Amino acid sequence: MIASESYTVETFNPDTVAEVCRRNGVCLIKGFFDANEMQRIQDGLVETDQRFGSMRPDPLSCPSLNWLLVHPRICDVAKMLLGDDLVYYTNGSINYEAEIGPLTNTPYTALHSDAAGNPQNVHGNAERNTEEPFPAYRFAIYMQDYTNSSGGVRVAPGSHLWTTDYDTSAQDEFSSIRIPPPSNPDAKPEEFIDIVPTRPGDLVIWNIALIHGAGAKRLKNNPKHCLHPREEAALTRDDPTQFLPAPGPRNAVFFDYGAVCEQVDLYIKFYTQTTKEKRLIPFGLGRSDDPATESLITGSGAQLREDGLIVSLSVQIEKLKNGGDAETIRSLVKRHREYSTHHALFDRTVFEALDLSSWKQAVGYAQQHIIRQITAGARAQ
C-alpha cells in the first residue's frame, strides 16, 4: 500500500514541493490556501457557474478565478519545477455543480496518463524516460474533504517515470495503462495506487504523465485502501453500501503549466486536435478578444498559447460539414495563429495566397487540411 505521507508536504516550501513532485509525480500540499482565499474560490465557482453554466471553462476565461493562475506561490512552484520559461496553454477546467449531480456521480475513474504526442506522430505516445519527468504539471484544488469520504483523485505515485513498465496495449474502460506494470506482473494493483486525502485549502500538483483517475471511492471498513477502478465498479454494482458517501458536489479547479519546449508543444497540439467538441468550446471562451487575459499571464512571465482559437476553428469546421457558416470559418482561419511548425493544422501561406483570388477555395483548402489532422487524431484515440 502507498502511504500518502510519502507525497505530502505539511508546510509550503517551493524546493521541497518541487523535489516531491519530481520524485513521486504528485505532491499534496496541506493548507496551501487560507480561509479568505478558499471563500474567494468558492464565490468564484458560483460566479463562473452563472456565467458559463456547465461548460467547464479554463480558469483563464473566468474573471473571478483567473487570479489563481498567477498566485505568487503557484508561480514560484511552477518555475521551480519547469524553469523560468513557462507556458500557460488553457487546458484547465472548472468543475462545479451546486448539488450532487453528474460531475460527482459519473467521474472519469479510468486510470490514465494525459501526456501524448511525439515528433513523428502528434497523436502517438509521449516520449518518456526514467530520469526526467514530462515538463508539464497539473494544479488541482478540491473543495471537499476527501480524507474519509468518496470522490478524491486516485494516483499511481512514481508512474510518471515508468517507461517500459508503461503498457498502453492493455486498455479497457477502467484503465488505459496496465497496472501492475509488466515488470511486476504478480503484484496487486493496489500496491501502486492511492486516493489523495485532500481537505479544503490543500493544493495537489501532478505530472502530466502521472497515471491517475477521478472520483475514487473509499471503503467504509478500510478507508485507506485504494481499489483499482475495475474492482470498484464491480463492488459498486454488487454492494454500493460498502462505500463511504461523497461529502457533497465534486467541485474543483484544474489548470496546467508547462515548460516552453517541443514535448509540451506536441502535447498542446495533441489535445487541441483530438478533444471532443463538448470540451473544445470552453477552450475558446472569453479570451480571444480580451487583451486583459493575455496580459495577466504574460505579466507573470509566462507565455500564453491561445490554442482556443484553433479549437473554435476546428469546431466550426466540423459544423461546416453539416452545413455551417463558411464566412465564420474564413474569419477564424485568418485570426488563427500557429504557435509552432510541428504538425500544423494547415499551411497559412497557401491559405493566404488562395484567399487573394478565391476565399471559398481558401476556406475549402483550410477545411480539408484541418479535418485531415483532426480525423487522424480521432483514429489514433
Please give the residue ranges that form the binding site for ligand AKG (CB under 6 A): 107-108, 114, 138, 153, 212-214, 252, 254
Q: How far is the CB of 213 from ligand AKG (least distance, A)?
A: 6
Q: How far is the CB of 108 from ligand AKG (least distance, A)?
A: 6
Q: How far is the CB of 246 from ligand AKG (least distance, A)?
A: 12
Q: How far is the CB of 26 from ligand AKG (least distance, A)?
A: 11
Q: How far is the CB of 256 from ligand AKG (least distance, A)?
A: 9
With CA atoms as reference, report the closest residue to 381 among 190, 184, 114: 114
Minimum CB distance to ligand AKG smaller for 79 or for 212? 212
Helix, strand and coil in the chain, % to nearest 5:
45, 15, 45
Radius of gyration of the chain (CA): 21
Contacts of 357 (CB under 8 A, 6+ apart): none
As beta bridge partners, residue 9 has 29
Q: How far is the CB of 140 from ligand AKG (least distance, A)?
A: 6
Q: How far is the CB of 243 from ligand AKG (least distance, A)?
A: 17
As beta bridge partners, residue 46 has none
Minimum CB distance to ligand AKG smaller for 17 or for 195? 195
Check: CB of residue 29 under 8 Å from CB of residue 20.
Answer: no
Q: Which residue is nearest to ligand AKG (CB)?
A: 214
User: How do beta strands 8-9 and 26-29 pair?
Assistant: parallel
Minimum CB distance to ligand AKG smaller for 178 or for 212? 212
Residue 160 grid cell? 510518471
Minimum CB distance to ligand AKG smaller for 214 or for 310? 214
Minimum CB distance to ligand AKG smaller for 104 or for 367? 104
Q: How far is the CB of 254 from ligand AKG (least distance, A)?
A: 5
3-state SS string over 176-245? Answer: CCCCCCCCCCCCCHHHCCEECCCCCCCEEEEECCCCEEEEECCECCECCCCCCHHHHHHHHHHCHHHECC
Minimum CB distance to ligand AKG smaller for 154 or for 269? 154
Q: How far is the CB of 292 from ligand AKG (least distance, A)?
A: 26
Sheet of strand 212-216: strand arrangement: 194-195, 152-155, 212-216
Q: How far is the CB of 205 from ligand AKG (least distance, A)?
A: 12
Main-chain dihedrals φ then ψ at residue 266, nearest 5 degrees: -65, -40
Minimum CB distance to ligand AKG smaller for 7 or for 351? 7
Cis bond before residue 57 (omega within 30° of 0): no
Minimum CB distance to ligand AKG smaller for 214 or for 362? 214
Provide DSSP, 286-349.
TTTT-HHHHHHHHHTTEEE--HHHHHHHHHHHHHHHTT--HHHHHHHHHH-----STT-SS-HH
As beta bridge partners, residue 372 has none
Minimum CB distance to ligand AKG smaller for 139 or for 351? 139
Q: Is 142 helix (H, G, I), strand (E, B) or coil?
A: strand
In the Cβ-directed half-sphere of 374, how many Cα atoms lie within 13 Å? 22
Minimum CB distance to ligand AKG smaller for 144 or for 314? 144
